[in-house]
Structure 1
Amino acid sequence: MVKRLTFWIIAALVVGLIIGTIFNLTIHDQNWIEYLVDRLSLLTLIFLRLIKMIIAPLVFATLVSGIAHMGNGKELGRIGLRTMCWFIGASLLSLAMGLILVNLLRPGTGLNLVPPVSAAPVAPAADFSLKDFISHMVPQSMVDAMAHNEILQIVIFSVFFGLGLGSQGKKAAPLLKGVEALSAVMLKVTNYVMYFAPLAVFAAVTSVITQRGIGVVLTYGYFIGSFYLGLAVMWGLILLVTRLLVGKGVLNILPLLRSPALIAFTTSSSEASLPPTLEALEKFGVPPRIAGFVLPLGYSFNLDGTMIYCTFATMFIAQSYNIHVPIGQQIMMLLMLMITSKGMAGVPRASLVVIASTLSFMQIPEGGLWLILAVDHFLDMGRSATNVIGNAAASLVIAHWEGELKIPDKREVEKIQSA
């Protein structure tokens, strides 16, 4: 199934590029373009809604059954500490990588734009409040958390519920079996939902190219190319570190991650790839309780692609206005982004909100957000796929540190792909 899905997603991407370009060149009435894009967006919207429909019960069932089998809070605490240590290290590496490359490549140099006297920000520069962030992590109601797909709140409740379930032994055995059955059913439902992925990919790509045209990619070619070079370097570092920590066979997982990464890339949604990534990790030998714990946390605390983008885009805007940012201020920006980015989980267009607040802090014109808004979708595609690889690597490393990763060989992976 994995190979077939990958083929159809790539085919949908290519067809979407071709048809989107034809529409952009032949349809000159803006009203017709808006009408067409609005109708196409329905397919993508339905797919993303289907994904959101399964995330809450899937995360809850997988995490609760895993924690209940841990038996005590000591193991959970150890896994949690190791996970957060990895996330902090990966975030610092991602932010630093973006900062180093944007200073070396300088994609904004030469634009020589004049800073606007006043310009309204594209996104509200929300102030970061540690108190609000921490209080938001704790759910007032599990029903409300599931209704709004607040993954972090679902994780918090699932941890308590799983510990309580595990402490009851035989008394709670029927309930535990029910939760395990729910997990198996939700993974099957995930397979059904994935059949809609190629349609969503076609609609998303066609819509963007119809509106923007393929020319927008060429206009911002050096900026986009520089950013994707940074993502490629980050992929290499992630895979190298994972290979060094876990062992040679760990890279056999890449064929299984192809579909989740493509789904994230073509839909520009890390969230859309969570269920198939979880399934791929479990097939590869990562225990469900570890994958079910690390992955949901990763989508709040370990967005490697988004981290690179925040430093890269901020410095690109500064370079475009010929604003010199001293190295000391850049380091301050890096530390600030390290904190503020963690408080933006679940915010629509979160990276733009984070960048807007950073521009304000560094006294760079917030109107510069318009420079990246035109190509934000194309950049979001790459950073979403990078987030998938980063979180999958985190799950593999944590499972290895726990001594519970059974790595299949290439033949076994091929059997899994064709199943």
Structure 2
Amino acid sequence: MTIIARSADPAVPPVRRRWYAHLYLQVLAAIVAGVMLGHFAPATGQAMKPIGDAFIKLVKMVIAPVIFLTIVTGIAGMRDLGSVGRVAAKAFAYFLTFSTVALVVGLIVANVVRPGAGLNIDPARFDASKVSGFAAKAHETTVVGFLTGIIPDTFLSALTEGNILQTLFVAILFGVGLAMIGDRGTRLLAALEDLSLALFKVVAILMKAAPIGAFGAMAFTIGAYGVDTLANLAGLVATFYLTSLLFVLVVLGAVGWLAGFSILRLIGYLKAELLLVLGTSSSESALPSLIEKMERAGCPKSIVGLVVPTGYSFNLDGTNIYMTLAALFIAQACNVDLTLGQQLLLLGVAMLSSKGAAGVTGAGFITLAATLSIVPSVPVAGMALILGVDRFMSECRSLTNFIGNAVATVVVARWEGRFDKAQFDRAMAGEAPPVDRLPADAVPAG
């Protein structure tokens, strides 16, 4: 079987590729192999952990420079600094709206389905030490600490310490500074754009190792936690997955329809990245590829550079659904009846705590701990009940977060009147040229 990949340039002949050469099929096969190894040889599966960790480290190695170069060249190429603030304001308006919608959806589903009802668990039975580490981290991530943490110790440390928000902060400042010096910065801008193209070639090289990374990560997950752990809490896991699916298809699907695109076509376009996120349980593993693909799909570099990295910290739809759903599950399992007022308080606290722990490793579980510690009606120790299956829900959180950020990028680009629908359609059909054949930040014709 041969698959033909067509170029947007009619002068370039179609490239024939065997079906097995496609990244998404390789990653899918690797995930299946990892599940089989982890299930039938758990010890060997757990030994594969370094492989998955190594791949994620490889990707994280290039995340900071990718974000920095994308934002700097995008802002400096625009020259219109007023539009930078306008894009940021629209992005945050979108993030706030749909983060709230995600929290409300989780709250409604938890009240309707009641996945924790009937478990009748005594909170005194929980081993609080199992979740004490997460609770301690939650207390450390205050709003003030989060805001001051955006400022790096040095300019260069923002590019070396792996903090996305610090990289974003420095990149915006440098991009604005470069734009302000006008024509004198033209040569530096051209050099940074060339460096950006080279860096995306590095990303393409690293992505060839994606199947190996997905195999190692999935083998470890199944080997360490086992599919058997799903049996006791299958109701919660199934409810969370179905709720996230409902949110993506109905809520984000409606957003896409209003913006003039199909959510299913977008998911199909990002299938390789989504499988990588599924295999590694980390949406960061596909961040560089998402930036490249959204540029290829007709979204200007300046908008992609602002919306995608910021969304990774502030637009966490899957995490928000998880927080309200998991909190009410614990309350129901412990026979704690929450009034409407208490549930609304829970929602408000979850909204704030999800921002305070942005960019923290294991943010989903940590933000849940932060939320429950402020709402005393639900025992924080009850988190031990879901600790065993949190890894499996982490995959769904990451997938939902990833899709939400892709949708946000298209919507903000459309709000700005800079979304190239013709280019988007070519990308969805697999006919769009790679980024290095696109203008740096061209304004679409229509």
Give the TM-score category using the shorter length.
Answer: over 0.9
Instruction: Pick one of 130, 136, 141 that aligns with 2:149.
Output: 136
Which residue matches 1:28?
none
Matches of 1:213 and 1:190 in 2, distance apart?
A: 32
Against the structure 1 CA distance between its residues 144 and 350, is the aligned structure 2 distance closer, same or farther, given a 3 Å change threshold?
Answer: same
Tell me if the contact between 1:217 and 1:375 (Cα under 8 Å) persists in the aligned partners. yes
Deviations along 1:301-351, one digit per CA (max 9) or x if unpaired, are 111101111111111111111111111111011111111111112222122
- The count of residues paired between Structure 1 and Structure 2 equals 409
Which residue matches 2:99?
91
Offset of 1:60 from its aligned partner? Answer: 0.4
Matches of 2:359 and 2:63 in 1, distance apart?
A: 14
| Between 88-97 and 108-117, the greater mean CA deviation after superposition | 108-117
Against the structure 1 CA distance between its residues 142 and 222, is the aligned structure 2 distance closer, same or farther, given a 3 Å change threshold?
Answer: same
Instruction: Pick one of 37, 52, 60 that aligns with 2:60.
Output: 52
Matches of 1:152 and 1:205 in 2, distance apart?
A: 28
RMSD: 2.0
Structural mapping, 1:39-118, within 5 Å: 39-116=47-124
Offset of 1:411 from its aligned partner? Answer: 5.7
Structural mapping, 1:220-259, within 5 Å: 220-248=233-261, 252-259=265-272
**Could you tell me which amino acid in structure 2 is paired with residue 241 of structure 1?**
A
Which residue matches 1:124?
135
The percent identity for this pair of structures is 35
Against the structure 1 CA distance between its residues 73 and 410, is the aligned structure 2 distance closer, same or farther, given a 3 Å change threshold?
Answer: closer
Matches of 2:432 and 2:124 in 1, distance apart?
A: 53
**TM-score, scaled relative to structure 1:** 0.92
Which residue matches 1:186?
199
Which residue matches 2:22?
4
Against the structure 1 CA distance between its residues 412 and 291, is the aligned structure 2 distance closer, same or farther, given a 3 Å change threshold?
Answer: closer
User: Larger helix proportion, structure 1 or 2?
Assistant: 1
Which residue matches 1:357?
370
Against the structure 1 CA distance between its residues 406 and 55, is the aligned structure 2 distance closer, same or farther, given a 3 Å change threshold?
Answer: same
Which residue matches 2:38?
20
Against the structure 1 CA distance between its residues 403 and 350, is the aligned structure 2 distance closer, same or farther, given a 3 Å change threshold?
Answer: same
Structural mapping, 1:206-221, within 5 Å: 206-221=219-234
Tell me if the contact between 2:135 and 2:366 (Cα under 8 Å) persists in the aligned partners. yes
Which residue matches 1:346?
359
The question of 1:267 aligning with 2:280 is answered: yes
Which residue matches 1:372?
386
Tell me if the contact between 1:302 and 1:390 (Cα under 8 Å) persists in the aligned partners. yes
**Could you tell me which amino acid in structure 2 is paired with residue 415 of structure 1?**
G
**Could you tell me which amino acid in structure 1 is paired with residue 165 of structure 2?**
L
**TM-score, scaled relative to structure 2:** 0.87
Tell me if the contact between 2:47 and 2:220 (Cα under 8 Å) persists in the aligned partners. no
Against the structure 1 CA distance between its residues 61 and 361, is the aligned structure 2 distance closer, same or farther, given a 3 Å change threshold?
Answer: same
**Could you tell me which amino acid in structure 1 is paired with residue 324 of structure 2?**
T
Runs of 4 or more, structure 1, over 6 Å off, are: none
Against the structure 1 CA distance between its residues 309 and 265, is the aligned structure 2 distance closer, same or farther, given a 3 Å change threshold?
Answer: same
Instruction: Pick one of 308, 317, 326 that aligns with 1:304.
Output: 317
Instruction: Pick one of 265, 287, 290 that aligns with 2:303.
Output: 290
Tell me if the contact between 2:297 and 2:432 (Cα under 8 Å) persists in the aligned partners. no
Against the structure 1 CA distance between its residues 86 and 372, is the aligned structure 2 distance closer, same or farther, given a 3 Å change threshold?
Answer: same
Matches of 1:286 and 1:369 in 2, distance apart?
A: 40
Offset of 1:133 from its aligned partner? Answer: 1.8
The question of 1:391 aligning with 2:399 is answered: no
Matches of 2:40 and 2:262 in 1, distance apart?
A: 44
